[in-house]
Structure 1
Amino acid sequence: MSRSLRRGAVAAVLALTVAPFAAACGAGSDSQTLQVQPNSAATSVGNLKVQNAFIITEPNGTGPATVTARIFNNGSSPEQLTGITVEGAAQQVKLTGADGKSGSITIPANGSVTLGGSGNPTAMLSSSQGIVLGNFQSTVFNFSSTGQVTLSPQVTPATHYFQPFGPGVEVTPSTPASGAPSAHPSGSASAPASAKPGTSGKPGTPGESVSPSASETPLR
């Protein structure tokens, strides 16, 4: 085989080899883009790891906001999350445990805690003032032993997969005690006279201990 023919064969093989990869990248870029999740803030200090951190506002960017994250404690002793500070926020972050009590949140030894979402502890800002959608705002997590852990979560609205972690999830309407329906309808409290049980306890039957008087006995 001549040199020119060999070069042609090599070029053809390379073209056939590269083409599928190029096609795959071109075709897959759009589909992969559709599945790309926004970059979540994450960092690690000592035994603590803070991952998937976001600041989530109401869908329109106003109202309250929450700080959500997954905190891992790889140490042999529990840690207390004592506070969170969001740079630029006009309000303080309020920490509330899963039991509804305000205050520090415990991250158990060799365990983890998720902030935000139904049934989880929460870190709530009563106002979104000073928080701008799309920004990456410096946020400091304060821990009892590890100290300060700083990262910059993105501010995002509570839509799509962020909706379960938004501030609206934490609102639980109370049920008024007087508004609960009675166990028995009021109309069934009393029965017709003919259906009242007699003293014998049998419904609709006169009591055995009650006998008609002589004046009530029909004449033959």
Structure 2
Amino acid sequence: MSRSLRRGALAATAIVISIGALSACGAGNDAQTLGIKPDSAATTIGDIRIQNANVITQPERNAAGPAVVTATLFNNGAAQQTLDAITLPGTSATVQLHAAKGAGPIVVPAGGKVVLGGKGNAAAVIENGREAARNGNVQSVVFKFSRTGDVPLGVFVVPATSYFTGFGPSSLPAVPSETPATTPSGSATPGAPSGSPSESASGAAGPTDAASASQSAG
């Protein structure tokens, strides 16, 4: 093969490799092309790393109801931290935090992680979610931790469809309800005196007994 032909073959090979690499990158960034998890916000400040952060709204476009903040919270420090609050700067929305069991603070253990959103996990509920966030926007979110302090980042606002179906506003931890006190068996009916003797057991003589006593005396 001549030198010019060899150069042409090498150039063609380089073009094919370049096109293949660009195609792979394009597919990797297009979640719908490969049907994989979409890109989500992530950041690290101090011992805290936040991954997979999103604001997820109701699945129907015009549906009213809460939205949720989802994320995975990592604590790379030697001491546990609590997630004290989540705020959405630029909005009047409030975010209610729920531990996985529905009571107490959300604790991120030392060297461990906590998932916000999804069945059986902790939750961060935006009560007026439709007014606070619009699908397709990037919303500023600030996570406030007991030791690290504020961890801000911009997150995508997406509906609870497709990949996010199981992480949407309907997936809240169950709050244990108080069981009403049961009435002990055998207790008296309200309004009736407890343990009052019946007329036959009280020893009071009825009309028949009085007549019999009179005849005996005669």
- Provide TM-score, normalisation by structure 2: 0.69
Q: 1:64 aligns with which of 60, 63, 66?
A: 66
**1:7 matches 2:18:** no
Residue 13 of structure 1, CA deviation: 3.6
Deviations 1:19-50 (A, max 9, x none): 54256357657755312643311111111101
Q: How does 1:40-119 map to 2 (within 5 A)?
A: 40-61=40-61, 62-101=64-103, 104-119=105-120
Show the counterpart of 2:213: none
Show the counterpart of 2:121: 120
Structure 2: where are the runs of 5+ without partners?
180-218
In the alignment of these two chains, the number of paired residues is 171
Separation of aligned partners in 1, 2:107 and 2:24: 43
Bigger mean CA deviation after superposition, 81-90 or 105-114: 81-90
Deviations 1:195-219 (A, max 9, x none): xxxxxxxxxxxxxxxxxxxxxxxxx
Deviations 1:110-165 (A, max 9, x none): 10000010001100011221211111111110111111000011100001111111
Show the counterpart of 1:136: 138
Q: 1:18 aligns with which of 2, 14, 17?
A: 14
Separation of aligned partners in 1, 2:173 and 2:99: 14
Separation of aligned partners in 1, 2:24 and 2:50: 31
Structure 1 residue ranges (4+ consecutive) displaced by more than 3 angstroms after TM superposition: 22-33, 171-174
Structure 1: where are the runs of 5+ without partners?
178-220
Taking a change above 3 Å as real, the CA distance of residues 108 and 133 of structure 1, as seen in their structure-2 partners, is same
Letter in 2 for 1:139: V
Separation of aligned partners in 1, 2:148 and 2:109: 14
Show the counterpart of 2:169: 167
Residue 170 of structure 1, CA deviation: 2.1
Does structure 2 retain, via aligned residues, the 8 Å contact 1:74–1:111?
A: yes
Bigger mean CA deviation after superposition, 68-77 or 32-41: 32-41
Residue 86 of structure 1, CA deviation: 1.1
**1:156 matches 2:158:** yes
Deviations 1:51-102 (A, max 9, x none): 110000001244210000000001111001000001244331000111112x
Residue 10 of structure 1, CA deviation: 1.8
Letter in 1 for 2:17: F
